[in-house]
Amino acid sequence: MTKLSVNINKIATLRNARGGNNPDLLKVASDIQSFGANGITIHPRPDERHIKYVDAINLRGVVHTELNIEGNPVDKFIELVLKVKPEQVTLVPDAVDVLTSNAGWNTKKEYKYLRDVIEIFNKGKIRTSIFVDPKTESIKYAEKTNCDRIELYTELYADNYHSSREKTVKLYSDCSILANEIGMKVNAGHDLSLENIEFFSKNMPFLDEVSIGHALISESLYMGLENVINLYINKLNK
């Protein structure tokens, strides 16, 4: 079974647009789980433009499935993760001013740095995942970091879904096979949607979890949050 973790950054963005607490982030996270999602993902950034650090702390008392915190492992982020103790931390090489995640780690260049950071989380007994591009070389060097999982950056697949989905998805399939051989589990995320998720899932020999936010929340404006969550779960596990 492939698990669905819902990224609720967009809920926080909507709340922050007017101030106050509408929509109530904690209530939405609770409802998402009751609708069948397997986890909640957040990506607090240093400027707190959507998810605030206090949100991460408060969500710990609400999330009874799995909490996944994404981010660049700067000191403030590491401190937050160790305090909250989510089930999973996903390390992403975001620049401070980046609008959204736009690349995976250069694991060949950064594996020693990542290994040191991951050791900190391993001591805290927090499952680790690193965000990588769909390149087998990235997977090979990811092994050297001692991470538990990789998260495949799926923008390339989404961009090529209409023009060359078969060719593009093979890059991801090959990476999932290699990761499994090495002993790492496979997550995926970024620009996955109701339109493209089923083909992706069916062509991935190993896929443990997907994290979806922007598309899922956008689709929910038309079809409703509970309905959309269950559509994803069905498409992921056909």
CATH number at residue 113: 3.20.20.70
| 88-91 and 127-132 strand pairing | parallel
Give residue 102's pLDDT band: very low, low, confident or very high (50, 70, 90): low
Residue 167 lies in a domain: yes
Q: What is the pLDDT of residues 216-232, one digit of tens each?
A: 999 999 999 999 999 99
Q: What is the pLDDT of residues 113-158, one digit of tens each?
A: 999 999 999 999 999 999 999 999 999 999 999 999 999 999 999 9
| 127-132 and 149-153 strand pairing | parallel
Residue 238 lies in a domain: no
Q: 97: Cβ–Cβ under 8 A, 6 or more apart, which residues? A: none
**Which residue, chain included where needed, has tokens 């996903």?**
90
Which stretch of DSSP H or E encloses residue 55? helix 53-59
Residue 129 lies in a domain: yes
Q: How many structural domains is the chain composed of?
A: 1
Cβ-contact 136, 175 below 8 angstroms: yes
Q: 38: Cβ–Cβ under 8 A, 6 or more apart, which residues? A: 3, 4, 5, 65, 66, 209
Is residue 4 pLDDT above 80, yes or no? yes
pTM, rounded to two decimals: 0.95
Range list of H helices, the chain: 9-18, 25-34, 53-59, 75-84, 107-123, 136-143, 155-159, 161-182, 197-202, 214-223, 225-236
**Separation between Cα atoms, residue 201 and residue 132, nearest integer Å:** 18
Known catalytic residues are 43, 70, 190
Domain that holds residue 191: 3-233
